[in-house]
């Protein structure tokens, strides 16, 4: 009997070793995909967090995604072209176009041609805000009044200066350089005639302001919108629907900077398909939690200015969504 014990013990040890060291039991989950989306206090980073929350719903089939800070859209594109790991990133379409042309600061890199689009995200829409109980009802009425154009170097400041120049008002409006966070208070206390800001509507802080201070959004005419689009080259026409903010009961014609979620061909077709399908499937829930996403529709695909990732294209074709020829 004793002579059989070692063989039985050996069999048990072999079995245990197989359980402990088998590939199935030692497998480590794949690290999450990175989604790079601006600094923590930027609009794109906020949108990215909202997006990933929706993609991670139990009803979805998207792979794990982690939101990471970045230095902005330009750096997102540069990193995506240089780094071997697949990643997602936010960017306006004009940044993709500039990189492919080799404009500064990108330089020539054939891997920029590997950038592919997945879907649009809420645009950064221009808002020009004045008091409803004041005498400023149009851009022309701003002449002689103090106005906050937006944070220095921001999209809002650039667009304000562009529009004022197009209207011949660049030397007639007193532009005030103050902290953009103080602009709402300055308007409420009538220290300024108005201020500019940009973001995905409805902007929460602006909705809060409108509850306490009667506001008006200055609207461009269709002709002025077209003038701005021709002079800028990066924006698209946009309409802020009436009722978006308390007391604003008319549609507002304005301009916006489009944006999307991009990746490269290094992302697998399967993951691109799963991410894209989960996004559109869970979009209604995302809108309930973050209303700005309500402006995103398949019709916005045309603004992305980059071919769709093959995995994303597969989803759109299966869903019967019309895809512009230049995106295929």
Q: How far apart are CA 231 and CA 220, in angstroms?
A: 15
Q: How far apart are CA 321 and CA 198, in angstroms?
A: 30
Question: DSSP code of 168?
Answer: T
The whole-number pLDDT of residue 29 equals 58
The whole-number pLDDT of residue 14 equals 37
The CATH number given to 33-122+258-327 is: 3.40.190.10
Determine the longest span between alpha carbons in the chain, in angstroms: 107
Q: How far apart are CA 219 and CA 221, in angstroms?
A: 7
pTM of structure: 0.84
Output the CA torsion sign for 127, 128, 133, 138. Answer: negative
Q: How far apart are CA 293 and CA 54, in angstroms?
A: 11
Output the CA torsion sign for 228, 233, 239, 240. Answer: negative
124-257: same fold as 33-122+258-327? yes
Strands 87-91 and 33-36: parallel
Residue extents of the structural domains in the chain: 33-122+258-327, 124-257
- 328 residues of the chain, pLDDT tens digit each: 333 444 433 443 333 344 343 344 445 556 789 999 988 888 899 999 999 999 998 777 889 999 999 988 999 999 988 888 899 999 999 999 999 998 889 988 899 999 999 999 999 999 999 999 999 999 999 999 999 998 888 889 999 999 999 999 999 999 998 887 899 999 999 999 999 999 999 999 999 999 999 999 999 999 999 999 988 889 999 999 999 999 999 999 999 999 999 999 999 999 999 999 999 999 999 999 999 999 999 999 999 989 999 999 999 999 999 999 999 9
* Residues 202 and 208 sit within 8 Å (Cβ to Cβ): no
The whole-number pLDDT of residue 9 equals 37
Q: How far apart are CA 194 and CA 149, in angstroms?
A: 9
Is 123 exposed, middle or buried, given 0-12, 13-18 or 19+ CB atoms closer than 10 A? buried
Count of beta carbons in the 10 Å neighbourhood of residue 96 = 21
First CA to last CA distance, the chain: 74
Q: Which residue has the tokens 């697998």?
A: 268
Count of beta carbons in the 10 Å neighbourhood of residue 152 = 9
Structure tokens at 127: 């808002």
Q: Which residue has the tokens 């019309």?
A: 322
Looking at domain 124-257, does it have CATH number 3.40.640.10? no
SS3 180: helix
Count of beta carbons in the 10 Å neighbourhood of residue 222 = 9
- Which alpha helices (DSSP H) does 131-220 contain, by range? 155-166, 183-188, 204-212
Q: Which residue has the tokens 């103050």?
A: 178
* Residues 144 and 276 sit within 8 Å (Cβ to Cβ): no
The whole-number pLDDT of residue 158 equals 92
Residue ranges with strand state E in the chain = 33-36, 65-68, 87-91, 115-131, 146-148, 174-175, 194-199, 215-217, 236-240, 252-264
* Residues 260 and 118 sit within 8 Å (Cβ to Cβ): yes
Kindly list the distances between the CA atom of residue 219 and the CA atoms of 12, 29, 99, 147, 252, in Å, as whole numbers in the listed order: 80, 51, 33, 16, 5
């Amino acid at each position: 009997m004793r002579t059989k014990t070692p063989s039985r013990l050996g069999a048990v040890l072999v079995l245990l070793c197989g359980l402990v060291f088998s590939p199935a039991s030692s497998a480590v989950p794949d690290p999450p995909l990175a989604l790079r989306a601006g600094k923590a206090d930027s609009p794109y980073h906020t949108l990215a967090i909202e997006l990933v929350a929706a993609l991670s719903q139990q009803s979805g089939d998207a792979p794990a995604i982690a939101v990471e800070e970045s230095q902005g859209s330009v750096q997102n594109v540069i990193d995506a072209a240089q780094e071997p790991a697949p990643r997602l990133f936010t960017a306006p379409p004009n940044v993709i176009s500039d990189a492919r042309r080799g404009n500064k600061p990108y330089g020539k890199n054939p891997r920029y041609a590997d950038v592919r689009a997945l879907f649009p995200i809420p645009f950064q829409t221009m808002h020009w805000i004045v008091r409803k109980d004041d005498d400023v009802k149009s851009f022309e009425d701003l002449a002689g009044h103090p106005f906050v154009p937006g944070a220095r170097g921001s999209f809002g400041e650039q667009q304000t200066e562009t529009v004022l120049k197009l209207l011949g008002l660049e030397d007639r409006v007193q532009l005030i350089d103050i902290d953009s966070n103080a602009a709402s208070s300055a308007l409420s206390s009538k220290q300024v005639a108005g201020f500019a800001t940009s973001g995905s509507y409805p902007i929460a802080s602006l909705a809060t302001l409108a509850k306490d201070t009667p506001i008006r959004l200055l609207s461009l005419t269709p002709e002025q919108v077209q003038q701005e689009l021709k002079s800028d080259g990066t924006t698209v026409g946009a309409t802020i629907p009436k009722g978006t903010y308390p007391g604003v009961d008319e549609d507002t014609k304005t301009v916006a900077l489009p944006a999307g979620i991009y990746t490269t061909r290094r992302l697998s077709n399967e993951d691109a398909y799963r991410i894209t399908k989960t996004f559109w499937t869970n979009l209604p829930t995302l809108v309930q939690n973050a209303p700005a996403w309500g402006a995103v529709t398949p019709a916005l695909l045309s603004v992305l200015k980059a071919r769709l990732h093959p995995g994303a294209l597969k989803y759109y074709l299966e869903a019967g969504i019309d895809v512009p020829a230049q995106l295929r």
